[in-house]
Amino acid sequence: MLDYNPPKTSLNAGPFKIFLDCAGEISFVSHAHFDHATGLNSSKTIIASEATADLLEARGISTAGLDFQPFFGRGGVKIELLDSGHVLGSSMMYAEFDSTSFLYTGDFKLQDSLIGPAAKPKKCEWLLIETTYGSPEYKFPERREVYADLSRWVSQQQKMGHSTVFGGYSLGKAQELVKVLNEFVGVAPIVSEEIAKVCKVYEKHGVRLDVVRSGTEEAEEILRHRFTAVLPHHQVGPELAKNLAEHYGRPVATALATGWAAGSKRMFSADAVFPLSDHCDFDHLLKFVEACEPEKIVCNHGFEKEFSAELRKRGWAAVAISELGKTQQKALAEYG
């Protein structure tokens, strides 16, 4: 059923081998984060959403000459894409073949957000599930609570005369931060050119985002006063805050948005950290498994071993993908 040859995972579906978030003759690309879309030029057929194709192009990955298909149906194999709730265009892959059904979640979440709906479970016999936060310590608050906390923090900083800079992934987190600042604070933040390009694709697909691109005259004028910005997460830290404060003569407070903030063992170089994630937390992972009612479960990424062990305690036939070998059926039977 599944072949795992790190770093590649593929599904043997009838006469086809479908590569999952990696390059192969037929590749399924769940979304446009770079670590899920490497080496696609070697693929002949790419199963992905239109929005994912648009985002890859906007992020500098040429899609010219590549055959993107949102649906696959041939040789007794039927594959359809289901919204995963992770970022714009992100998809789960549901496949039917040889009288069985298979669901690969990719990265996903079960909370609606300001920029997109949550993933919805689908019953399947085999489930390959992403488990980035598959440890009990990771339990996220309701999204609206995080939005409210974030907006209060910005208002407090503004009252003190501080500018604010948020860090988030250029695709997904940055757009959600922009939307929160638009709707909860009434601010159009300055964004990097990279984030602005992604925002344009969101606009194309019906998500309105009000931003000011850095480097424009409008941005330079705003920077002379108290400002709010959203930048790629790796750029935001004490050094940036110091340089901006010195250059513009105004204190700058920094904040990060990440699900890792829900844990107790991580340190962050920012004035504030908000537990805003594009993934499921521990409880939502369990909820999703229960709703899908799979017969066999393979856990992938993050706390894959810990979460598969938890599932086995609860009576599920589950195994971590790193524990799969040539005899995965036997491995799963042992854990049943």
- Could you give phi then psi for residue 333, rounded to 5 degrees? -65, -35
SS3 assignment, position 288: helix
CATH number of 143-274: 3.40.50.12650
Query: What's at 309, amino acid-wise?
Result: A
What angle, 0 to 180 degrees and rounded to 10, lies between the N-to-C axes of helices 193-204 and 50-58?
Answer: 160
Instruction: Give burial (CB, 10 Å; 0-12/13-18/19+) of 151.
Output: middle
CATH 3.60.15.10 maps onto the chain at 2-138+279-334
**Domain 2-138+279-334, CATH homologous superfamily name and number:** Ribonuclease Z/Hydroxyacylglutathione hydrolase-like (3.60.15.10)
Task: Compute the half-sphere exposure of residue 296: CA atoms within 13 Å on the CB side of its CA.
Answer: 18
Nearest to 13 by CA among 126, 107, 108, 121: 126
Residue 54 backbone class (left: φ over 0; alpha: ψ -120 to 50; beta: rest): alpha
Tokens of 141: 């608050």
User: Are 281 and 133 spatial neighbours (Cβ–Cβ below 8 Å)?
Assistant: yes
For residue 68, count other CB atoms closer than 10 A to its CB. 18
DSSP sequence for 42-90: G-SEEE--HHHHHHHHHTT---TT-EEESEEEETTEEEEEEE-SSSTT-
Model pLDDT, residue 133: 97
CATH 3.40.50.12650 maps onto the chain at 143-274
Model pLDDT, residue 336: 39
SS3 assignment, position 135: coil
Nearest to 281 by CA among 157, 137, 163, 166: 137
Stated pTM of the model: 0.94
Nearest to 291 by CA among 139, 108, 141, 142: 108
Q: What is the dihedral of CA 4, 8, 9, 12, to 10 degrees?
A: -90
Q: What is the mean pLDDT of each run of 10 residues along the chain (336 residues)?
A: 89 95 93 89 90 95 86 94 98 97 98 97 98 97 97 97 97 98 97 98 98 97 96 95 94 96 83 97 98 98 97 97 67 48
Model pLDDT, residue 332: 54
